[in-house]
Amino acid sequence: MIRVGTRGSKLALAQSGMVAEELARVSGEQVELVEIKTTGDGTTVPVAQLGVGVFVNQLREALERDEIDIAVHSYKDLPTAQPEHLVISVPPRADTRDVLIAADGRTLADLGPGARIGTGAPRRIAQLNALGRGFECVPIRGNIDTRIARVGDDLDGVILAAAGLKRVGRQAEVTEYLDPLVMLPAPAQGALAVECRKADMTSARISSMLNDRYSQAAVAAERALLQRLEAGCSAPVAALADVAESAEPGEVDLYLRGLVGAVDGSAVERLSTTAALPDNGATDGADLAARAAAVGRALAEDLLEAGAERLLK
């Protein structure tokens, strides 16, 4: 029996259920979901005030107490510093984009000055304000159903992650998929982290069967940028990496974009870079992820040199 730890929200159960099904398929073992309550559950306090790791710490504690064998996280919720005794596998990444759900099927272009858009993410607020359209950004917490229910009531629209909506079957309500040129996503958005103890070699071997090397490398680049900026998951920082097979044998191509913005939209620093990375084809993807992370740190240095530090302060 493989015990998979998960938060109890509708989204967490949906994505952990997907992982559990894959674990059962690749291992032939029975899999049980174990619900763990975290600090971030059951509160409407903004994540920026709660701090990094509020959706993660109790799951990791359950791992360390051997109450579960594997924990499933939304990767973007993880602190950037990874404990050495824990190891992560990254299943194939879902849609990275943000989406708008607005009343009457409207898009951002249809919403005028004063339109009330629900989002509590400083990253999204910074980019919405930078558009100069006069939107009113309304801090909002709660599950997907609660947020969508406010559209047409006290909100003209809400912005959510495409991946989460698809995982709970509500993607048909999307009125616009936001181009990354308009709304660059959070580092690791759309990715799941399947985490276990390094010393638990059986669980580590089984979970590694779910690992997608290109998704792992993309997330490594984005989170290395975030870590070098010394910014948490609630900071106004965005990043998106695309990793694809190169025309050159033994290489993969990485295209990375990064953004740091002032929450009021008064200034935004955007930079991008490309790199051809040597790839030894190893199934664990660790070497490729390390090379991708180096690219992320380098782009963060460029952002800092361009003035990102004052925006983060």
- The predicted structure's pLDDT at residue 262: 94
* Strand order from edge to edge, sheet including 192-197: 31-35, 2-6, 70-74, 192-197, 86-89
pLDDT reading at 310 higher than 80 = yes
Ranges 27-41, 119-133, 201-215: which has the least confidence: 27-41
pLDDT in tens, 29-82: 999 999 998 765 554 545 554 455 667 999 999 999 999 999 999 999 999 999
Quickly tell me which residue has 């006290």 as its tokens: 154
- The predicted structure's pLDDT at residue 50: 47
- The predicted structure's pLDDT at residue 282: 81
Torsion angles phi and psi, residue 297, rounded to 5: -65, -40
pTM confidence score: 0.93
Residue 99 in tokens: 């989406």
Q: Which domains does the chain have, with CATH numbers?
A: 1-91+191-211 (3.40.190.10), 98-177 (3.40.190.10), 212-313 (3.30.160.40)
How far the first Cα of the chain sits from its last, in Å, is: 48
pLDDT reading at 147 higher than 70 = yes
- The predicted structure's pLDDT at residue 283: 74
Q: What is the mean pLDDT of residues 283-295?
A: 93
- The predicted structure's pLDDT at residue 42: 54
- The predicted structure's pLDDT at residue 40: 56
pLDDT in tens, 236-271: 999 999 999 998 899 999 999 999 999 999 999 999
pLDDT reading at 9 higher than 80 = yes
Q: Which of 66, 69, 77, 242 is catalytic?
A: 77
- The predicted structure's pLDDT at residue 53: 64
- The predicted structure's pLDDT at residue 105: 94
Count of H-run helices and E-run strands, the chain: 10, 13
Cα–Cα distance, 118 to 289 (Å, whole number): 35
Ranges 128-137, 151-160, 228-237: which has the least confidence: 228-237
- The predicted structure's pLDDT at residue 52: 57
pLDDT reading at 232 higher than 80 = no
- The predicted structure's pLDDT at residue 55: 78
Annotation marks residue 200 as catalytic: no
- Return the closest-CA partner of residue 228 out of 285, 288, 308, 286: 308
Give the DSSP letter of residue 151. Answer: B
pLDDT reading at 313 higher than 80 = no
- The predicted structure's pLDDT at residue 245: 92
Name residues whose C-beta falls within 8 Å of residue 201's C-beta, 6 or more positions apart in sequence.
Answer: none
- Return the closest-CA partner of residue 147 out of 183, 114, 101, 109: 101
| Structural contact between residues 230 and 122, judged by C-beta atoms closer than 8 angstroms | no
Residue 144: enclosing H or E segment and its boundaries? helix 144-149
Cα–Cα distance, 28 to 26 (Å, whole number): 6
- The predicted structure's pLDDT at residue 233: 64
Residues in the chain: 313
